[in-house]
Amino acid sequence: MFTVFMVVDAIHLDNSPEEQIRKKQLKNPFSTSHPVNSIAMDIPQIKAFNANMDGIMDELLPELEEIYKDIHQHPELSMEEFRTAKIAADYLTKHQFEVSTGIGVTGVVGILKNGDGPVVMLRADMDALPVTEDTGLPYASTTVARDAEGNEVGVSHVCGHDLHVTWLMGAARLFSEHRDQWQGTLLAVFQPGEEVGRGAQAMIDDGLMERFPKPDIILGQHVMVGEAGAALSYLPATASK
C-alpha cells in the first residue's frame, strides 16, 4: 500500500537578518491567535472535518485514477516534461488558479489567493526515469526516448512522480472548491528534473522566489510503504540564494 509522507523542502530560502525579523513577527498560522484562524477546531470538530473530507475525496478518486493512469502511461524524462506540465497547468486553470508555465524549462506554478494568511507551497516532481517497464499492467508505459547521451532508452515512472503529480492536482481542486475552510495563499508547484538534480535550481534561477509570493512553509510529499501520515523529515530554511 502506498503512503503519503510530508517533508519541508527548504530550497534556497532567504535567511537574511531582515527575513529573520519577519519570521519572528509572523504569528503561528496554526495557533488560535492567528488573525485568520477565526474558528479553533477541537478534536471532535477535527474528526468530523476529516470524515467529511474523506467522503469528498472518495468522490474525487475516479477522476484522479484516470489522471494517474494517463501520466503513468506517458512518462517523460527529466527536463522534458512538456506533456505532463500541460496536463497540470490546464487542470489548475480549470480550478481557478493563476497559472505560470515554462518556469525553469517545464515547471508550473499555480497561485490561489484566498484572503489574508500564510503562504503555503505544495510541491510535486514530474519526471520519470530511463527504465523500461515490465509490469504487465494494462496502462504500462511503452515509451521510448533518447537520454542526454543520445542512447535509446525505455522510460517509466518507477519513483512515484506520476502519483506526486496526481495528488497535487487533487489537492489543488480540493483547496479551490472548499475555500470556506481556509485562508491564505496556496502555491501549487510542479517541478521538473528532480531525478537529475537540476529542476529545482532551474526554477530558482528562473525567478521562482522573486516572481511569486514567498512561502512561509513548503510541503513536498512522497509515496512509499510505511505508516500513513508519518512525517519523514523537517528541514528549516537556512540557505540563501
pLDDT tens readout for residues 60-82 = 999 999 999 999 999 999 999 99
What is the per-residue pLDDT across 21-75, written as a single tens digit (0 to 9) for each? 444 444 443 333 334 344 456 788 778 878 888 888 889 999 999 999 999 999 9
What is the per-residue pLDDT across 178-235, written as a single tens digit (0 to 9) for each? 999 889 999 999 999 999 999 999 999 999 999 999 999 999 878 777 666 566 566 6
Q: Which three cell numbers stand for residue 55?
A: 467522503
Give the residue from 144, 161, 142 showing the smallest Cα distance to 88. 161
Of the pLDDT bands very low, low, confident and very high (cuts 50, 70, 90), residue 17 is low
Q: Which residues of 169-202 are buried (b: 16+ CB within 10 A; e: fewer)?
A: bbbbbebbeeeeebbbbbbbbbbbbbbeebbbeb
State residue 29's pLDDT score.
39
Q: ∠ CA 84-198-149 to the nearest 5 degrees?
A: 85
What is the overall mean pLDDT for the chain? 83
Q: ∠ CA 30-34-37 to the nearest 5 degrees?
A: 75
| 3-state class (DSSP) for residue 138 | coil
Q: What DSSP string describes 46-77?
A: HHHHHHHHHHHHHHHHHHHHHHHHHHHHS---
Give the residue from 221, 216, 215 showing the smallest Cα distance to 190. 221
Give Cβ neighbours of residue 32 (< 8 Å, ≥ 6 apart).
40
Q: What DSSP string describes 188-232?
A: EEEE--TTTT-HHHHHHHTTHHHHSPPPSEEEEEEEESSSTT-EE
Of the pLDDT bands very low, low, confident and very high (cuts 50, 70, 90), residue 96 is very high
pLDDT for 6 beyond 50: no
The single-letter DSSP state of residue 33 is: T
